[in-house]
Amino acid sequence: MAWFKRESAGLEPQPDRVIKSEGLWFKCDGCRHIMWKKDFEANYEVCTKCDKHFRIDTRTRLAQLFDDGVWTEEDGNIETTDPLNFTDLKPYKGRVKAAQKKTGRKDAVVNARGKMNGREVIISALEYGFIGGSMGGVVGETVTRAAEKALAAGIPLIAISATGGARMMEGTVSLMTMVKISAALAKLDDAKIPYISILTDPTTGGVTASFAMLGDLNIGEPGALIGFAGPRVIEQTIRQKLPPGFQRSEFLLEKGFLDAVVHRREMKHYLTRALDWMTNTPREAEAS
């Protein structure tokens, strides 16, 4: 009965006919939809089926907002001095070094200056990949400088948050930073220069408690987790179950904590229109 059995090992893949598809596909962990990575990237790293907004780094984010993806970085050379000489499981200095190597940045923020649809703006964006986008003394100084430069030049400031909050390894220095940035933003307000805050997934802790919620407009990305304390801490404190969607952009918009929830694809256009209205000044023709 040899014809019932498979006698050879079966089909052998021929090396010249193997197509490498690894890395070409992206699977959404929200709806399990599988899409071409190129389509996903062309869609601003948002799922083409369920619209889940994935976290993106500052480089990708800034390229989406500035005309032709061109901007100049400012204040990128400030480094922490480890003011508390802090060690938890590892020395803080070592954590900073590792994060610098991973992201190619000195700390968790980028100040970028360039044109957005023909209008000059300064954007201060947090890098989540650098110790969770946490706000220590360097982030404080850098965002403050962005506000001071916007004030001196009379151009709008946009902050983009992606952060777990204050950096615990810098303790009080992080907390003082909240005051420092808030004071600089108050001067912008006095001078009637627009400041817009974009809150992306996640924006929590001390950043929410300071500059992220101080915008003339506070805009959330769809589905972003935005809050001060985490939901588990709140549930344990108030001993109540929280409603579904609590601390997500849409819920916060409904409760009046945000002014708008804007799709990443629409963000540049939305910011431009908002600044047209807020500044009432002409700009060069819309580039894209």
Residue with Cβ nearer Zn ion (26 or 251): 26
Site residues for Zn ion per CB under 5 A: 28, 30-31, 33, 47, 49-50, 52
Shorter beta-carbon distance to Zn ion: residue 50 or 242 = 50
Q: What angle (nearest 5°) sits at the alpha carbon of residue 178, between those of residues 200 and 60?
A: 30
CA distance 137 to 81: 9
Write down the least CB distance from residue 25 to Zn ion, Å. Answer: 13
Minimum separation from the CB atom of position 102 to Zn ion (A) = 27
30/129 with CB nearer Zn ion: 30
Phi, psi of 18, rounded to the nearest 5 degrees: -80, 125
From CA 41, how far away is CA 46, in angstroms rounded? 8
Nearest distance from C-beta of residue 222 to Zn ion, angstroms: 12
Residue type, position 152, single letter: A
Q: Which residues contact 186 (CB under 8 A, 6 or more apart)?
A: none
Nearer to Zn ion, 50 or 233 (CB): 50
Q: Are 41 and 114 in contact (CB under 8 A)?
A: no
How far apart, in whole angstroms, are the C-alpha atoms of residue 207 and residue 272?
24
CB of 40 to Zn ion, least distance (A): 10
Q: Which of 200, 118, 210, 119 is nearest to 156 (CA)?
A: 119
Q: Report in angstroms how near the CB of residue 47 gets to Zn ion at its nearest.
A: 3
Q: Which amino acid is at 216?
A: D
Closest to Zn ion by CB, 51 vs 259, is 51
